[in-house]
Structure 1
Amino acid sequence: MDDLANVIASMRMVSIPYNFNISNRGNVDFGGGRHLKRMYFFLSSVLGTVLSLSGLFAAAHPSTAQAQTVQKDYENHPNRAAIEYVVKNKLMWLYPDGNFRPEQPVTQADLVAGLVNAKALTIGTEVTGLPANHWAKVYYERAKKDGILDGVTLNPSKVLNREEAALLMNNAWKNIFKAYQNKRQVYSDIAVTSGWLPKKSGKFVTGVSTTAYDGLGNVSRGEEAVALYLLHNDAIGTKAAENIALQFHNSLKVSGGNLKGKVPTVKGKDIRLLIQFQNGKIVSYFSGDFMVNASQVKFMEFTVKNSGESKSLARYTYDSGTNLIRKNTR
């Protein structure tokens, strides 16, 4: 700014009149004539340009301007990883202001839409009882087709309690794992033990007190994100595991009294074939080709798991080594 002050001061000096004696013209006053006016306007224009440029450079200087960033409302949330996952995979959404609102309670329509997205459902069936032109209509149709709405009273705008949310979640998982197909008196406990909802003290919907399986409190969007993250991974994982199981099944051949096949090897997966023989001996095969006496096979079980996990993403049993009919027991 000192340099700018010097420029301005030097410009002001131009307004002092100067007299020059020019041969044959006498004394000419440049200080009060039209030439000075032209110079004045010229220098005024230059001064305006300098001031504009100085303002531009000053605004760009790090000492006077800082890049502004908006901190998302889930930056420090304990479920941040799950929230980022569901947003990235378009299972849930951010609001127009860029926030997720992780503590906002979820409605029935919110959760139904999320569960449908997590399972990537595309086929629906007609649903009656929804308000006309409701935004979640297509999600309810797909949820009904999949069985997610079994035993559920439709009320899209209702803020769900944990028991109501747990029933919807259980319905979403029951077509993936048979363990969730049995009807229960309450569902908040299975939601907690399965990791879909966090532990919370309170009461079951039956009125019985509990230190972990509360069914009456609300479910937040941050908690929903965790459930959808798990459901999406199970849906993707079981689909991949089914392809591996089919690959194994198609490799099985009985020839010359021998059962032959190949156990696939896939990175990140624990894949094994367990064979129980007629003499009671049990042998596990983890990868590669195998050949056994078909008539000596009493039972076979083929499983696919994620490495380091106990849950089977695919599990098939065979009751003999000659009749290669498999049964899905997942």
Structure 2
Amino acid sequence: MKRKSFFLALLLATATVAGGGVGESAFVFAAQANQAVKDYQNHVHKADIEYAVKNQLMWLFPDGNFRPDQTITQADLVVGLVQVKGLKEGVAIKDFPAGHWAKTYYERAVKDGILKDVAVEPNKVLTREEAAFLVINAWESVRKSRTRKDSELFKNHSYIQYTVSSGWIVPKEGHFPNGVLTNKFDSKTLVNRGDAASSLRKLHEDYIGIQDAEIIFNQFHQSLTLSKGVLSGFIPNNGKYSLNINFYGQKVQDYEKVGKFSLNISNYSEMIIRIVRKGEAVPLVYNQYANLPEDLKYKSIRW
């Protein structure tokens, strides 16, 4: 059964079923599905499924069900990743299946690098290892995941090992690519829609968190002044995120109080800014000022 673009459903407010491109079937949105029987009501990924549908990362079928145990295709995951990142621009793809419902999303994925070194096979059912490869590509522009995965430290890890350890794909017992048993890094099982919803939610929350944190950092950076070894500025107060400053030089000092501050940094040569969700440890912003006390140039060192 072919699926169609769920954005058209937003335009057809009076329609029960969304349509687009070619084909005859589509899916139902969350507002419509509230009136339908849900086949994921008691599913382990119920919250993830509701999040994915609400944020238009995945969809419900016309009968109101999600089919959490149904396997996903390459097109399903590519569309989800494009939606997670809110990609709008694309480039033409040669020899793409004529009339395929996911063509526009593949064009955006190609431009973003999601499909780097990936054969375009939209109807191919994905193993966890193949899905992990796409996720790593997608997150290169966000957390330099491809660069890091290909580094000396991680180059011998399977793709699923890297993504499960990063928290982007759920662990599952099975086998590594070489056939060796593993209790959580299974590479060979086919990916189902419930697990895909979990992954897309985690990636979307990470992406949104980074965007929010970048806004907070820009407010902080624009407030900074440096004069005669004294750094002054303002740390915004935010209920969801915390900003921490680490100074390095002749000694180490941490600072994380919100509001205005003025500090003598003449004995420091480096400042690291970390912004995290409160209660979490993974940095959403991780920026380095490496030329103190001379100037306030910085670079991102986030993984």
| TM-score (normalizing by structure 1) | 0.75
Q: Which 4+ runs in 1 deviate beyond 6 A?
A: none
| 1:201/1:211 contact within 8 Å kept | yes
Q: Any unmatched runs of 5+ in structure 1?
A: 1-68
Q: 3-state DSSP class of the match of 1:97? A: coil
Partner Cα separation in structure 2 for residue 318 and residue 288 of structure 1: 20
Match of 2:99 in 1: 133
| 2:245/2:255 contact within 8 Å kept | yes
Match of 2:206 in 1: 234
**Relative to structure 2, which stretch is displaced further, 317-326 or 186-195?**
186-195
Partner Cα separation in structure 2 for residue 307 and residue 257 of structure 1: 31
Partner Cα separation in structure 1 for residue 234 and residue 161 of structure 2: 41
Partner Cα separation in structure 2 for residue 286 and residue 179 of structure 1: 32
Root-mean-square deviation (CA), in Å?
1.7
Match of 2:3 in 1: none
Match of 2:90 in 1: 124
Match of 1:305 in 2: 276
Among 78, 87, 94, which residue is 2:53 paired with?
87
Pairing 1:279-318 to 2, within 5 Å after superposition: 279-318=250-289
Q: 3-state DSSP class of the match of 1:216? A: coil
Deviations 1:275-305 (CA, angstroms, capped at 9, x unpaired) = 23x4314232331222223433311111110
Pairing 1:168-183 to 2, within 5 Å after superposition: 168-182=134-148, 183=150
Q: 3-state DSSP class of the match of 2:118? A: coil
Q: Which amino acid letter does the alignment assign opposite residue 101 of structure 2?
A: W
| 1:263/1:273 contact within 8 Å kept | no
Question: Is 2:190 the partner of 1:218?
Answer: yes
| 1:108/1:160 contact within 8 Å kept | yes
Match of 1:252 in 2: 224
C-alpha displacement at 1:179, in angstroms?
A: 4.7
Match of 2:116 in 1: 150
Partner Cα separation in structure 1 for residue 263 and residue 293 of structure 2: 9
Q: Which amino acid letter does the alignment assign opposite residue 236 of structure 2?
A: P
Q: 3-state DSSP class of the match of 1:168? A: helix
| 2:246/2:252 contact within 8 Å kept | no
C-alpha displacement at 1:180, in angstroms?
A: 4.7
**Relative to structure 2, which stretch is displaced further, 191-200 or 101-110?**
191-200
Identity of aligned residues (%): 44
Q: Which amino acid letter does the alignment assign opposite residue 261 of structure 2?
A: F
| TM-score (normalizing by structure 2) | 0.81
Q: 3-state DSSP class of the match of 2:285? A: strand
Q: Which amino acid letter does the alignment assign opposite residue 253 of structure 1?
A: T
Match of 2:295 in 1: 323
| 1:263/1:272 contact within 8 Å kept | no
Partner Cα separation in structure 2 for residue 131 and residue 81 of structure 1: 34
Match of 1:28 in 2: none
C-alpha displacement at 1:173, in angstroms?
A: 1.9
The structure richer in helix per residue is: 1
C-alpha displacement at 1:70, in angstroms?
A: 4.8
Among 58, 71, 74, which residue is 2:40 paired with?
74
Deviations 1:11-62 (CA, angstroms, capped at 9, x unpaired) = xxxxxxxxxxxxxxxxxxxxxxxxxxxxxxxxxxxxxxxxxxxxxxxxxxxx
Partner Cα separation in structure 2 for residue 180 and residue 273 of structure 1: 28
| 2:36/2:63 contact within 8 Å kept | no
Partner Cα separation in structure 2 for residue 270 and residue 204 of structure 1: 38
Greater gyration radius: 1
Partner Cα separation in structure 1 for residue 81 and residue 47 of structure 2: 18
